[in-house]
């Protein structure tokens, strides 16, 4: 059997994404086959399309790191899922298609009260935020968190998740409209970085600086983050949209006893992703069920229009997530 998939015909602009016919993927012993309702578009998909983020060895070249849908087949070792179950799942690739395979440990039930398609916006962002803020940075209630790119899919997730857990959140965004949304989602203050110095604002708001920073910008923000931090703060880099090759004065890192760390999700071993999945299910899913957190969906495109979704993401005008729907 075959299915419609979106392939990257060659590295390049969004128009290199083209619909094609591929064989239906077959689940291994510990995998499930999902009939995809929707797939999330994420910045790593854009980097893969441009040739900067190749899939790990043995993983399909079809992009797409998260889906929601219905289980239609399971491997012989799978016991927790059966055909007909509604799930969302984190993938190593292959989400831009009518069907996708996922490891059973990286599938999660659809949170209570959430639409099946909307659930496709959860896995990549929730796994990323939970791991980096609450595992790596050990963020705790009462602390101050600075989220750069607050209107992005990651940003809107981080603001809501942290706020629901008693964290004081400051966000940066590139327009007054985006800042207003960040504050509606729970940020104590959102800073328009085109109009205001976020370092001065953070010091003014907190008195001593922030305790944790989630940064996907990089570039000149790396040095500025040091200045925005309180003593013993933790900085987590998850992307470098302004570049990763920077010249730094590391003296503040030593004097303030700061921790600078970072991670990528896709390359982590299955065991680590399964641990993250368990944490998300136990700690984040109840927040969604209680109405304290809901994924923000900016736009929905048909699977065949994946190129339009990528083009939108690259304008940076979106607020929240962009989905592809079957």
Is residue 145 helix, strand or coil? strand
pLDDT in tens, 92-147: 999 999 999 999 999 999 999 999 999 999 999 999 999 999 999 999 999 999 99
Q: Which domains does the chain have, with CATH numbers?
A: 2-122+266-325 (3.90.180.10), 126-262 (3.40.50.720)
Q: pTM value?
A: 0.96
Distance CA 236, CA 215 (A): 6
Provide CB contacts within 8 A for 95, sequence distance 6+.
36, 39, 40, 62, 63, 64, 65, 66, 67
Distance CA 80, CA 85 (A): 10
Provide CB contacts within 8 A for 66, sequence distance 6+.
39, 40, 42, 88, 89, 90, 91, 95, 120, 121, 122, 123, 124
A 10 A CB-CB count for 200 gives 12
Distance CA 81, CA 136 (A): 30
Q: Above 90 in pLDDT, residue 240?
A: yes
Distance CA 137, CA 273 (A): 17
Distances (CA, A) of 30 to 43, 74, 238: 28, 8, 29
Alpha-carbon dihedral 51, 57, 59, 61, rounded to 10 degrees: 30
pLDDT on residue 13: 98
Distance CA 207, CA 227 (A): 13
pLDDT on residue 324: 98
pLDDT on residue 26: 94
pLDDT in tens, 142-177: 999 999 999 999 999 999 999 999 999 999 999 999
Q: Phi/psi of residue 238, each to 5°?
A: -120, -5
The overall average pLDDT reported for the chain is 97
Per-residue pLDDT, averaged over 70-90, amounts to 97
Q: Where are the beta strands (DSSP E) in the chain?
A: 2-8, 17-23, 31-41, 66-74, 86-90, 99-103, 107-109, 144-147, 168-173, 189-192, 210-215, 229-237, 259-262, 297-302, 321-325
Percent of the chain scored above 90 by pLDDT?
98
pLDDT on residue 203: 97
Per-residue pLDDT, averaged over 230-254, amounts to 96
Supply the DSSP string of 171-234, one letter for each residue: EEESSHHHHHHHHHTT-SEEEETTTS-HHHHHHHHHSS-EEEEEES--TTHHHHHHHHEEEEEE
pLDDT on residue 35: 98
Split at pLDDT 50, 70, 90, the class of 50 is: very high
Split at pLDDT 50, 70, 90, the class of 200 is: very high
Split at pLDDT 50, 70, 90, the class of 267 is: confident
């Amino acid at each position: 059997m075959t299915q419609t998939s979106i392939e990257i015909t060659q590295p390049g602009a969004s128009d290199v994404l083209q619909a094609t016919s591929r064989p239906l993927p077959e689940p291994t012993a510990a995998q499930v086959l999902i009939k995809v309702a929707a797939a999330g578009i994420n910045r790593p998909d854009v980097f893969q399309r441009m040739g900067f983020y190749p899939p790990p060895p043995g993983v399909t070249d079809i992009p797409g790191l998260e889906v929601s849908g219905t289980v239609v087949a399971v491997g012989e070792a799978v016991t927790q899922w059966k055909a007909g179950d509604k799930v969302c799942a984190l993938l190593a690739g292959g989400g831009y298609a009518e069907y996708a395979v996922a490891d059973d440990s990286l599938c999660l039930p659809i949170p209570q009260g959430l639409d099946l398609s909307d659930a496709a916006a959860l896995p990549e962002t929730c796994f990323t935020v939970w791991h980096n803020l609450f595992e790596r940075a050990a963020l705790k209630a009462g602390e101050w968190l600075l989220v750069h790119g607050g209107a992005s899919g990651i940003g809107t997730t981080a603001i809501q998740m942290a706020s629901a857990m008693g964290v004081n959140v400051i966000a940066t965004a590139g327009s007054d409209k985006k800042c207003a949304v960040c504050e509606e989602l729970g940020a104590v203050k959102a800073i328009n970085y085109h109009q205001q110095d976020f370092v001065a604002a953070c010091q003014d708001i907190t008195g001593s600086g922030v305790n944790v920073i989630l940064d996907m910008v990089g570039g000149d923000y790396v040095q500025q983050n040091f200045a925005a931090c309180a003593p013993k703060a933790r900085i987590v880099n998850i992307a470098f949209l302004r570049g990763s090759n920077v010249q730094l004065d590391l003296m503040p890192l030593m004097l303030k006893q700061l921790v600078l760390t970072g991670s990528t999700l896709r390359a982590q071993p299955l065991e680590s992703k399964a641990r993250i999945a368990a944490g998300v299910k136990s700690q984040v899913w109840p927040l969604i069920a209680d109405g304290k957190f809901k994924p923000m969906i900016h736009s929905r495109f048909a699977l065949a229009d994946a190129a339009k979704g990528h083009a939108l993401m690259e304008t940076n005008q979106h607020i929240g997530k962009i989905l592809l729907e079957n």
